[in-house]
Chains A and B, each alone.
Chain A
Amino acid sequence: AQSVTQLGSHVSVSEGALVLLRCNYSSSVPPYLFWYVQYPNQGLQLLLKYTTGATLVKGINGFEAEFKKSETSFHLTKPSAHMSDAAEYFCAVRFTQGAQKLVFGQGTRLTINP
């Protein structure tokens, strides 16, 4: 079955530290991959996406993600966390076979410690 898994519902890092949020999907065919961020009481905002081409994609606010087909992963990273990065992050996958709906992971809440 096609699914999206985010490892860790809560991640806490210190300000200035590396941020790593994990996302894995299950599909035999490479899908389209997205990361969205949600600040409190707001809608979701696109951080970055991978559809084709270069597997390392850069997004807004210094975030980037790498599509690794062999690992069926699309982990989100940022070299140095800022207090304003505290939010909920969602990995989303649009599978290119079958029902092509956009499926979201369960989310990872990122907390930044001063």
Chain B
Amino acid sequence: EAGVAQSPRYKIIEKRQSVAFWCNPISGHATLYWYQQILGQGPKLLIQFQNNGVVDDSQLPKDRFSAERLKGVDSTLKIQPAKLEDSAVYLCASSLDVAGTGELFFGEGSRLTVL
């Protein structure tokens, strides 16, 4: 079974530029998550989708971050314009269940460096 796929693995941009990250979850997983992991910290949830609907985006900086999951499968996270403090690893995860007891499967992450 293929895991969660993310691209690109690494991205370096200058502040005020834009960047997009792509995630393809495990086939059949209804729930998709984007987490931001800043160096030395635990992952912080940015947005959670169930199928193509948003369940939670309370910690998504909506003035610069956007995410979509148009067909309920893969997802894109965009940052525009980027700030220095956006330097982090962006982790995508998916899960089969919606009750909250199941395992989240994580991709390897997309490491963003903003100069």
Residues of A whose CB lies within 8 Å of any CB of B are 4, 6, 9, 32, 34, 36, 41-46, 49, 51, 90, 92, 94, 96, 99-107
What residues on B are CB-neighbors of A44 within 8 Å?
43, 91, 93, 104, 106
- B109 lies within 8 A of chain A by Cβ: yes
Knowing A32-B101, A51-B101, A107-B41, the reply to whether A101 touches B91 (Cβ < 8 A) is no
A-B pair number, CB within 8 angstroms? 56
Residues of B whose CB lies within 8 Å of any CB of A are 4, 33, 35, 40-45, 48, 56, 58, 91, 93, 100-101, 103-104, 106-109
Residue of A nearest to B107 (CB): A43
Q: Compute how far the CA of A100 lies from the CA of B45 in the bound complex, rounded to whole angstroms.
A: 11
Among B33, B44, B48, B106, which residue has the most Cβ atoms of chain A within 10 A? B106
Which applies to chain B's interface (DSSP): helix, strand, loop or mixed?
loop
What residues on B are CB-neighbors of A43 within 8 Å?
4, 91, 93, 106-109
Q: Compute how far the CA of A107 lies from the CA of B35 in the bound complex, rounded to whole angstroms.
A: 15
Contact assessment for A102 and B42 in the assembled complex, using a CB-CB cutoff below 8 Å:
no
A88 to chain B, nearest CB (A): 9
What residues on A are CB-neighbors of B35 within 8 Å?
104
Q: Compute how far the CA of A34 lies from the CA of B43 in the bound complex, rounded to whole angstroms.
A: 14
What residues on B are CB-neighbors of A42 within 8 Å?
108-109
What are the 7 closest A-B residue pairs judged by CB atoms, nearest first? A43-B106, A104-B42, A44-B106, A51-B101, A46-B103, A94-B100, A106-B42
Among B40, B42, B45, B93, which residue has the most Cβ atoms of chain A within 10 A? B42
